[in-house]
Chains A and B, each alone.
Chain A
Amino acid sequence: MGIGTLVAMLAIALAVIGILATQQAYSLFLPGLLQGAVLTIEIAILGSLLAVIMGVLAALARLYGPAPLRWLATVYVEIFRGTSALVQLFWLFFVLPQFGVSLDPFPVAVLALGLNVGAYGSEVVRGAILSVARGQWEGCTALNMSRAQMLRRVILPQAFVAMIPPWGNLFIELLKSTSLVSLITLSDLAFKAQQMNQNTFKTLPIFTLVLLMYLVMSLVLTIGMRLLERRASAGLARGKAA
């Protein structure tokens, strides 16, 4: 879908929220939902940061680490990709305290979502690094670069461009997964919606607004990643022409 269509969808979604906000039946819920949305955004941003860090670390460990580190990274990726995000969230929330590690819901949420998406992300990073042409490595060797120099100066900058679209999808997945944290008592957007629904039974306005708000957040993220992709690959094209 083109970036123009996405921007048009975003504009329409915002306009619909604006029109609904003039109706009392809807505007009543808006402040509370916005409060929830702020928490959703916080968790999404921190979770994404953790996911990127874990993704890069796990991918580098699997590709270039010594054997024990490689196994550790593989086990991490398999466990977090193989079990459901909600199971991981509940495990960290309910089971970890039994081992003496009691965390607040907020760090649990960031940790669970970050680790979960990081596991998928490591495959993205790994694939992107492997997709860099062999000749680039050989060129680096010919220039007598150290392995760290090769990765930092030549391989990762090229792999970065290939990573942007799949990471964009993963960030969207993470944003949507933040709704799960409502089930461990964090008052994010989904939690606020359920709470208000139980108090007022005004189901239709509440859930319509919530869907629209998630849509706006996803679209902003998608558009942002598209722009980033455009910028990054524009640089690459120039480099090729030179």
Chain B
Amino acid sequence: MIWDWNFTLEILPVLAHAAIVSVEATLIGFVLAATLGLVLAVVRIAIPRTGWTISVLVELIRSTPLLIQIFFIYFVFPKFGLVLDAFTAGVLAIGIHYAAYCSEVYRAGFDNIHRGQWEASIALNLSAWTTFRDIIIPQAVPPIVPALGNYLVALFKETPLLSAIAVMELMQTAKIIGSETFRYTEPITLVGLFFLAMSLVSAALIRTLERMLNQRATR
């Protein structure tokens, strides 16, 4: 018998528990990525002559594998006295990696703001902070929400990498079940199905969101 339903039911609660860790890592990682990405994009505009440095930084982060970045933070940072536990190190790496991608998304959003909006803000003597908070960000962010959503899904699909530094998320739990029972079929297939279900649901959500935002924009 290739597929054992009793075994499946037995491991389901264990995997469900691990799924919580995966989702936690995703959410914390994404909050980090979205915030840091916004900071990078704003700094690029607000402080002159930082554009080039940030471009190079983003290119560096995007050109190297996330797995190596996770290892770097987990293994190298302690040499400089910053000891992080596996979960924190992993989430930090994921957050920074996706911040690089998110900052480009925000940049596209800011680029779409008409020049006149900036000029009007200067004419009204608004401070840089008020301009960003009340004029630019409310116009720039809604159109890019679907793009950010796609990165949320992509980030979620990267969380199995945390198993490489033994964070007890879905993949690691499935692997441990596999090595204890010598049955890999059920745990790994279940993990795959879980990711598939989450991706399909979130893709549908993003499409709905996109439609809602488009309606609001055309009104």
Contacts and interface: CB of A to CB of B under 8 A. Distances in A.
Give the secondary structure class of B's interface. Answer: helix
B40 to A, nearest CB: 15
Contacts of B66: 176, 179
A208 to B, nearest CB: 8
6 contacts: A84-B195, A179-B68, A182-B67, A204-B79, A214-B65, A222-B63
A78 B200 contact: yes
B72 A84 contact: no
The 5 closest A-B pairs by CB, nearest first: A218-B63, A94-B184, A82-B199, A179-B65, A176-B65
Contacts of A172: 62-63
Contacts of B158: 84
Contacts of A219: 63
Contacts of A6: 59
B161 A98 contact: no
A231 B180 CA distance: 55
Interface in B62-117: 62-69, 71-72, 75-76, 79
Interface residues of A, number: 43
Contact of B65 (A84, A177, A194, A208): A177
Nearest to A211: B64
A11 B166 CA distance: 36
A172 B64 CA distance: 9
B199 A81 contact: yes
B189 A95 contact: yes
B43 interface: no
A189 to B, nearest CB: 8
Contacts of B160: 84, 86-87
Contact of A190 (B68, B76, B185, B199): B68
A194 B71 contact: yes
Interface of A: 1, 5-6, 9, 78-79, 81-88, 90-91, 94-95, 98-99, 172, 176-180, 182-183, 190, 193-194, 197, 203-204, 207-208, 210-211, 214-215, 218-219, 222
B63 A86 contact: no
Interface residues of B, number: 41
Given A1-B55, A207-B72, A98 B196 contact: no
A90 B172 CA distance: 11
Interface of B: 2, 52, 55-56, 59-60, 62-69, 71-72, 75-76, 79, 157-161, 163-164, 171, 174-175, 178, 184-185, 188-189, 191-192, 195-196, 199-200, 203
A71 to B, nearest CB: 16
A219 B195 CA distance: 31
Given A94-B178, A207-B72, A82 B65 contact: no
Residue among B2, B56, B64, B79 with max Cβ neighbours from chain A (10 Å): B64
B110 to A, nearest CB: 17
Which of B56, B68, B157, B196 counts the most A-chain CB atoms under 10 A from its CB? B68
Given A83-B199, A176-B66, A177-B65, A211 B72 contact: yes
Nearest to B75: A203
Contacts of B203: 82
Contacts of A90: 171, 174-175, 184, 188
Contacts of B171: 84, 86-87, 90
Contacts of B200: 78, 82
A193 B76 CA distance: 12
B195 A87 contact: yes
Contacts of A214: 63-65, 68
Given A98-B184, A182-B67, 10 more contacts: A1-B59, A78-B196, A79-B196, A86-B171, A90-B174, A190-B65, A190-B68, A194-B71, A204-B76, A214-B64
A197 B74 CA distance: 12
B74 to A, nearest CB: 9
